[in-house]
Structure 1
Amino acid sequence: MQQTPSIINLIDPIANGKRPSANIINVSTQQDAQTQAFADAATSGARVFLCHVYQQGGRSHLVFSLPMNILVELAKLQSAETKKNKSDVEEKMNRPKIPSHVNDIAKYLLYTDKYILPPFIFNCNTPLKVFSYGTGPVQSGYAIISSNIELYVTDGQHRLEAIKKVLPERPELKNDSVTVLVVQEEDIDQIHQDFADCAKNQPIPKALRAAFDVSDTLSKLARQISQDLVIFTGRIDKISGSVGKAPDYMFTMNQLRVGVAEFLFGSSRKQLFESHVNVNRAEYEKMLTNTKYFYTEFAKHNEVWTLLFQPASQTTGLNLYEIRQKRIDFNSVGFQIISRIGHLIFNQTPVLSDVQHETLIKTLANLDYSRECQLWQNSVVTDKEDKQGNITKTIVNHQTTVNKGYKIAVRELENRTGITLI
């Protein structure tokens, strides 16, 4: 004799029971749940999807794994428009779409084989019928989704648009699946709150992202250089946003990454180095070899950088914070200037000889990088007076500072070597 199913119409207790929640019908076995779900769906032309059911925050949540083509078919957007909804954005379910964000995700999906996408969060304002089985805080079940069910994206609209964009170019993604969490909610204020709550995660610091994100060519190069070159090994802060007063670190991982971008591409502008994201193995090895050679040769001929050839674990009495207070080359701005000139040296037309490369790098390394040097005054370095009337030499941390310092250093190299660079 078949056991009578236990029907649990879960109504959110908030708002006096007005919000719909999932219509959970709990049965004894997996076979019973499957049989009844498909029988129910057959009467209405609905489809059946496997799911997990659990409670969170007074609401029932349903978790699905859906192929991307089904995701695109089921998901609906109601995005605010930047121009049309300035005064009534709260009436739309989704924030305005940011095309650049969509493009970033699309590039990631196109060029990354081992990609990963976070779960999508959908909202459904119509109770979904679910035949569940099992006991405990998480149950398995079969959800019935008819053609009139509307599943609006609460979190993931940019990922959804990116998937739509890349599927024609990479149709094999249709065979991949994503995780979807469906929350039963009809109150638009709560839907907005759900989105805001999802956005409260702490962003990954740039330094840590540069250390972890090896799908990005530039980050991968910077990480490998930080590991392979003794001058950087153990002296790059791979977590923090700034090195502050730390005596053991030269740069953050992101600062190293920016410097490497200047050397490789002559600029650290995002749109420039992103155009080199999809390099082949030979191109990558050439980039790595040139970068290692440049920084190693520079360090050989610079009186302070030479000290870095001793491993960090064996170095004593070298306070990099104190050095940063006296010099510009141990600050990000100075490092970018040096790196950009390296790019210029390696990308001259006509191509410079090996002897000219060596001469220019040696001369670059022998420039005076102290903050007191007149070469950098009122461009890279400016005088700043404190409350006691003391004057300190302060580095101007701005991209225009890099541009000015670069031009000054190029003129100085040309005057000292007689080699025309620009």
Structure 2
Amino acid sequence: MRGIQAGRPFYIATCPLRIIPKIFSYNEGDVPPELRAQRTLNKTRIPEMVKYLLDNPKDYVFSALTASVGVDIGFDDHDGAPNLGTLKIPMDAQILINDGQHRRKAIEEALLENPDLGQDNIPVLFFIDEGLTRSQQMFADLNKYAVKPSPSLGTLYDHRDESSELARELATNSLPFVGLTEMEKSNISPKSNKLFTLSSIKQSTRALLGKGPKDGFSQDEKQLAQEFWAEVTKHLPDWQMVIDKQVSPAQLRQEFIHAHGVGLHAIGVLGKAILCQNPSNWKQKLEPLANINWLKTNPVWVERSMNHGKLSKSTQSILLTANALKIELGLDLTPEEKALEKQLS
């Protein structure tokens, strides 16, 4: 298919995956960036993309590649369809990828393990190469307005990731999250009527159950997560007041750290320690949570949960906040946690 964009012709074609590594070469690693028209290949991104293709051969989506062709190309119109036809590109033509070099490399490596993928197709958008300056501008323009979705929105829409699935279940069915979870954004606006973000529920529950990003969950673990957060709610009167609509979420976020991601995540880390050290009476061990001063003005949180006067979601802030909770509840610190405490002092 031929089209016109900004006065220039472009062509859309579907190409079998098996020929993608052959027609799109990439060997610019030693070329200075000012003489390139694309970023260097980030090899750390490739294995995850390859795994995605191999794990989902019947259910994957790869967006179109964008390329510039360095020679004159031919286009034969089909009768009665002036913009549909056959695109003719010489086999020795230089074809530069403007957008999609990581997809191209992932396709190449995935085909080595599963050649059957080569029968699939991917759309390719071809432009005429007008030189280095134009190609560099194309790369800049293609990436200028690309915005990665928020972690919460990614969690909401990801139906392959089990921790995302569990977070959605908790947010829609379990206390304290039901009705109080921001499902789309990962930062809650000051006047929002939400108290938690979906991404913070995922991260906090993953910490609670000691799971990595790609780990799954048994039914017992899912039930345990639901019971844990419901039990925590019993011992946090401030959360209960929001649930009962006696206090607005905005008021709580303004004054208390347990109304923010760092506090929720720290409670998840605390929960993991309680479950390990007190598996039979973990609910009883949560009772002292009701006596903790959760105010942001508490000097304990100022030096642990904040950075330059603002709440911090850094790993160190989360761990230091969790350490304070563990100390308050009489739990043993690990050697690593003790070392972190020494740094604080």
Scaled by the length of structure 1, the TM-score of the pair is 0.71
Question: Structure 1 CA distance, aligned partners of 2:20 and 2:136?
Answer: 21
Alpha-carbon contact 2:41-2:102 (below 8 Å) kept: yes
Deviation string, structure 1 residues 298-353 (Cα, Å, up to 9, x no partner)? 11222122345x5xxxx5443111112221111111111101111223345xxx44
Question: Structure 2 CA distance, aligned partners of 1:378 and 1:148?
Answer: 63
User: Residues 286 and 155 from structure 1, CA distance in 2 versus in 1: closer, same or farther, beyond 3 angstroms?
Assistant: farther
Counterpart among 270, 294, 308 of residue 369 in structure 1: 294
Deviation of 1:258 (Å): 2.5
Deviation string, structure 1 residues 49-75 (Cα, Å, up to 9, x no partner)? xxx112222222111111211222221
Which residue in 1 is equivalent to 2:114?
A: 170
Superposed, 1:88-99 pairs within 5 Å as 88-99=32-43
Alpha-carbon contact 1:326-1:371 (below 8 Å) kept: yes
Which residue in 1 is equivalent to 2:226?
A: 292
Superposed, 1:10-409 pairs within 5 Å as 52-79=1-28, 81=29, 84-85=30-31, 88-112=32-56, 113-134=58-79, 139-203=83-147, 204-265=149-210, 273-276=212-215, 279=216, 283-307=217-241, 310=243, 316-348=245-277, 352-354=278-280, 356-364=281-289, 366-373=291-298, 375-376=300-301, 378-380=303-305, 395-409=311-325
Deviation string, structure 1 residues 70-113 (Cα, Å, up to 9, x no partner)? 2222212243x3xx44xx32322322111222233223323345
Identity of aligned residues (%): 20
Deviation string, structure 1 residues 136-161 (Cα, Å, up to 9, x no partner)? 7x721122343222322111001111
Alpha-carbon contact 2:175-2:233 (below 8 Å) kept: no
Alpha-carbon contact 2:174-2:226 (below 8 Å) kept: yes
Deviation string, structure 1 residues 173-223 (Cα, Å, up to 9, x no partner)? 222211111111231211111111111234123332222223333222222
Deviation string, structure 1 residues 355-400 (Cα, Å, up to 9, x no partner)? x12112333455332334455453236896xxxxxxxxx5455332
Which residue in 1 is equivalent to 2:341?
A: none
Alpha-carbon contact 1:62-1:182 (below 8 Å) kept: yes
Deviation of 1:245 (Å): 0.9
Alpha-carbon contact 1:298-1:365 (below 8 Å) kept: no
Runs of 5+ unmatched residues, structure 1: 1-51, 267-272, 385-393
Letter in 1 for 2:266: I
Runs of 5+ unmatched residues, structure 2: 335-345
Question: Structure 2 CA distance, aligned partners of 1:326 and 1:368?
Answer: 11
Alpha-carbon contact 2:37-2:139 (below 8 Å) kept: no
Q: Does 1:412 align with 2:341?
A: no
Alpha-carbon contact 1:294-1:361 (below 8 Å) kept: no
Q: Secondary structure at the match of 1:61?
A: strand
Alpha-carbon contact 2:73-2:90 (below 8 Å) kept: no
Question: Structure 1 CA distance, aligned partners of 2:249 and 2:232?
Answer: 18
**Larger helix proportion of the pair:** 2
Deviation of 1:120 (Å): 0.4
Letter in 2 for 1:263: L
Number of residue-to-residue matches in the alignment: 332
Letter in 1 for 2:4: Q
Letter in 2 for 1:254: S
Question: Structure 2 CA distance, aligned partners of 1:404 and 1:421?
Answer: 11
Alpha-carbon contact 1:119-1:179 (below 8 Å) kept: yes
Scaled by the length of structure 2, the TM-score of the pair is 0.85
Alpha-carbon contact 1:237-1:251 (below 8 Å) kept: yes
Question: Structure 2 CA distance, aligned partners of 1:74 and 1:255?
Answer: 44
Q: CA RMSD in A?
A: 2.6
Question: Structure 2 CA distance, aligned partners of 1:259 and 1:126?
Answer: 54
Q: Secondary structure at the match of 1:167?
A: helix
Q: Secondary structure at the match of 1:143?
A: strand
Alpha-carbon contact 2:161-2:214 (below 8 Å) kept: no
Question: Structure 2 CA distance, aligned partners of 1:171 and 1:342?
Answer: 46
Question: Structure 1 CA distance, aligned partners of 2:114 and 2:275?
Answer: 37
Higher-Rg member (1/2) = 1
Which residue in 1 is equivalent to 2:343?
A: none
